[in-house]
Amino acid sequence: MRAKLAVYWTGSCGGCDVSFLELGPGLLDVLSQVEIVFWPALVDAKRQDLERLPPRSIDITLVNGVLRTEENAEMVALLREKSRFLGAYGACAHLGGVPALANQGNGILEAVFGPGFRPAPPFPEAPEDTPPDLLPEALPLDEVVPVDFVVPGCPPPAGLIARFFEAALSGGLQPGQVFAEEKALCEECPRVREERRISRVLRPHEVLPDPEKCLLDQGMVCLGPVTRGGCEASCPKAGMPCTGCLGPTPKAGDPALALLSALASLVRAGEEGEAAFPEENRILDGLVDPIGTLYKYAFAKYGRPLRRLARRREEVRA
Amino acid sequence: MPEIKPRIGVFVCHCGKNIAGTVDVAKLAEAASRFPGVVYATHYEYMCSDPGQALLKRAIREQRLTGVVVAACSPSMHEETFRRAAEEAGLNPYLLEVANIREQVSWVHSGPAATRKALQVTRAVVEKVQGNRPLRPAEIGVVRRALVVGGGIAGIQAALDIANAGFEVILVERSPSIGGHMAQLSETFPTLDCSQCILTPKMVEVARHPRIRILAYSEVEEVSGFVGNYRVRIRKKPTYVDPGKCNLCGECAKVCPVRVPNEFDRGLSLRAAIYIPFPQAVPSTYTLDEKNCLGLVPLRCGQCAEVCEAKAIDFDMHEEILEEEVGAIVLATGYELYPKEAMAEYGYGTVPDVIDGLEFERLLSASGPTRGEIRRPSDGKIPKEVVFIQCSGSRDPEHHKPYCSKICCMYTAKHALLYRHAVPDGQAYVFYIDIRAGGKDYEEFVNRAMEEERILYIRGKVAKVFREGEKVVVWGVDTLTGRRVEVRADLVVLAQAIVPSPGTEELARKLRVACGGEGFLKEAHPKLRPLEALTAGVFLAGAAQGPKDIPESVAQASGAAAKVVALLSQPKLEHAPEVAEVEEALCSGCGICAPQCPYGAITVDEVAHVNEILCEGCGTCVAACPSGALTFRNVEDEQILRMVRAALEVADVGV
């Protein structure tokens, strides 16, 4: 019997849906073993179709995208009810992803549209149909429904997708499983580390990196050391620092704090000691947009204390 | 593993009034009895006393405690005491923690806030101890051999003491002979013993001691390993003379065409390229100084070998690298004088008749360049007016060294006195800031110089020294009379500041030993651990640790030797198990941790490895580890979070 599969997107760029193509010919094997019961990107189906299904009738559901609207939350709750196994697919569902950087503050619309920005006045009469309300914050999947497993990545790399289907279609899904390595990316990165110290912090466009050496050693903020392996270090191999899409290693905790602490340990200007602090601070100031860099995917999941702190600060200021 | 319900005991110490005067100890104990996991809580006047420890032991047995918190003074004071007591009562000592409610609470707070903080601290530590695992100290063997670096009086004394206690010693000396600065001195204060006469018997003893191996003309190249198990690479420079064959006839030096300033005489005499620093040198042999020889490859001269009847000279001798294992290391690298070239106000060292204290020692020495007659360097005349300037470069934070060099008051008094003995019709002046003669019979010695020898002590600093014809003019101020003073002297002697000998910092780096701001080797604790470095198994002796006179250097050397002997006598060494630990399944080998370690305890191949013996448990690597693969035993993230939550919970309750 074919396994019943659902794939759904919430606040998503669509890349996750496309990522299945990365399996290449392997996709045909997968498709031959599943029955797609719900996959809006591929097959036309409406919410009502889903509602009509009996509970726990879908074997595997993959949700990609951040939860941004009330409708997103309702849909994943519905999917949870109808599914035996429900997993977060991709960085947005796993950690909040790039869209969750919107959680940085309420002033984001003003910041984007300038000081002239005003929300439109409400319609005089209630309209027939309105878009769903926004949730107060963009949320990762597991903050709304229990999640059984995670296929991480932005989008998930082919190897991990294959590994997931292999487990799922052989009945080997383990609760809480994350389809990536427990060891950090450095484990599979072919780059060579030499001197573990940073004397400058550079953004990718500011440097043509040495093809052999560790990017962190060259001053690029590579999240490899805090990020799960599993992608075969495809970005570092191509000269781009890891941005952390597979999520932090199991014991890293908040990946931004973990890497910040590592950066602060590695930065060195001359002889160790207090005399070097101003220069070392200046080097660390080279880290432009620390939230966007260090929390690129994980801000919804881990940035909450920071957001609480920012709110507290605003309150104090007010 | 079955989940064992925690049974924690809390013991609140009054520390007399130290804690109980500020913290409501009864209330603290009562509140602690209701903390989650706590089955027993009490308070007692002095937990560290015998009855206090007995109370602890009894409760551990009777209450079948699985963990203990003693709320008392800093763990650096009595953690050991309480842990030993716990162990005696059958509890793993690492399941006992101390909550510091004295240094961090009662001594720094007052009022009800103090009790509240004591509660928070105790509550947090109760949480911590529930996450503790029982640990066992690591054990290592000991290599029963010591290395002494530096062959001055401190190194000699340390080597002799260790060797006489039955252990092998390797004594490394950079120059061709041991003896150090003491061998250069004329006579020693305050007794006026001849320095060489009291030193050379010790040198001879070192030379013929069956358990001491002297490696002269050698330097420590690299040190690895750890307490009890150091590996040392020593570079032995070629002397080109076989010490076993050299019979000290001296013919080689006579025919050698080279003449260079003699270091032993501080440049006041000349020596050949093949030389013996002084007749009683140990090892007793000539040394061919490669740098000043006309040329060895290809051989340019070779006259020395031609005249050597003993056939001791071997131009093919090579540098040797020796690898030795030792259990302990004594650093006795001594001092050097702050260069007189740095003294702008005293002529930058360009005036020939302005000399430093050690040069004057050589002039006074019977074996010196003038055979003990005081003759000034410029024209060999006997100086009739000599000015001694104390604190030259010392106690001058703006221009030179901020510290007191400690020995100059005494040796200047000795210099002036010996000068007066040698030149009875000469006049000696001493410029001083104040006289520091704090040693046995020292004050009496200075008084003798001032009163019996009619040496003119002028309290004031010298502003300028310059040459005028045959004279050296000294401008200063007598601050007691407020008058300006000008002395037209024949010779000026500068009591230059004492600085660490060159290379001290480099050697310290090799051993991961700290140097203070002025470059002297730093002791582990200025009062309670003055003989040892913070790096376990490394000990300090003599002026390398700070300016010292001979008796103090000898005392410290004997002290350090006693420490070494105590270390080498232990059947096994134990090391606290509360160190960093790598969870290898999580480590990607990124290597960020390794350079953070101040003790060199981390090596990285596929994964990081912590050497348990080298790790001192500072936790720096744990903070740096991005993936969370490094943890600190019994201070794991989960424990810290539990502690923080618990402490804040108490705050919320608002006791």
pLDDT band at B523 (very low <50, low <70, confident <90, very high): very high
Q: Which residues pair with A227 in a beta bridge?
A: A248
Alpha carbon of B33: minimum distance to chain A alpha carbons (Å): 33
Binning pLDDT at 50, 70 and 90, where does residue B1 land? very low
Cβ-based contacts under 8 A for chains A and B: 78
- Section B193-199 average pLDDT: 94
- What is the pLDDT of chain B when averaged over all its residues? 94
Q: What is the mean pLDDT of residues B435-446?
A: 94
CA angle B131, B134, B140 (to 5 degrees): 135
**Distance (Å, whole) CA B32 – CA B11:** 9
Record: contact B595-A224, CB cut-off 8 A: no
Q: Does A251 touch chain B (CB under 8 A)?
A: yes
| Partner-chain contact A226 B627, CB within 8 Å | yes
pLDDT of amino acid B2: 52
Looking at CA atoms only, how far is residue B94 from chain A in angstroms?
24
Instruction: State residue B653's pLDDT score.
Output: 54
Q: Please check whether residue A244 touches B, CB under 8 A.
A: no
Residue B27 contacts by C-beta under 8 Å, 6 or more apart in sequence? Answer: B115
Query: How far, in Å, CA of B115 to CA of B22, rounded?
Result: 7
**Segment B402-415 mean pLDDT:** 96
From A217, which residue of chain B is nearest by alpha-carbon distance? B592
pLDDT at B248 over 60: yes
What does the pLDDT read at residue A106?
63
The answer to whether A232 faces chain B, any CB pair under 8 Å, is no
> How many CB atoms neighbour CB B344 within 10 A?
10
CA atoms within 13 A on the CB side of A79: 34
CB contact under 8 A, B586 and A225: no
The whole-number pLDDT of residue A305 equals 83
- What residue spans define the domains of chain A? 3-178, 185-287
CATH number of A3-178: 3.40.50.700
H/E run at residue A173: none
Mean pLDDT per 10-residue segment, chain A (318 residues): 94 95 94 95 91 96 96 96 97 96 77 78 79 90 96 97 95 92 95 88 92 94 96 96 96 94 89 86 92 95 84 79
Domains of chain B, CATH where assigned? 8-135+638-653 (3.40.50), 144-228+325-334+512-572 (3.50.50.60), 238-318 (3.30.70), 339-499 (3.50.50.60), 576-633 (3.30.70.20)
Which of chain B's residues have a Cβ under 8 Å away from the Cβ of A186? 588-591
- Interface contact A185, partner B, CB < 8 A: yes
Q: Which residues of B touch A197 (CB under 8 A)?
A: 595
Give the percent of chain B with pLDDT over 70. Answer: 99
Q: SS3 string of B491-544?
A: EEEEEECEEECCCHHHHHHHHCCCECCCCCECCCECCCECCECCCCCEEECHHH
| pTM recorded for the entire structure | 0.71
pLDDT at B611 > cutoff 50: yes
CA-angle at B425, arms to B420 and B428, nearest 5°: 45
For B594, the closest of A185, A196, A253 (CB atoms) is A196
Cβ proximity of A244 and A236 under 8 Å: no
pLDDT tens sequence across B272-325: 999 999 999 999 999 999 999 998 888 899 999 999 999 999 999 999 999 999
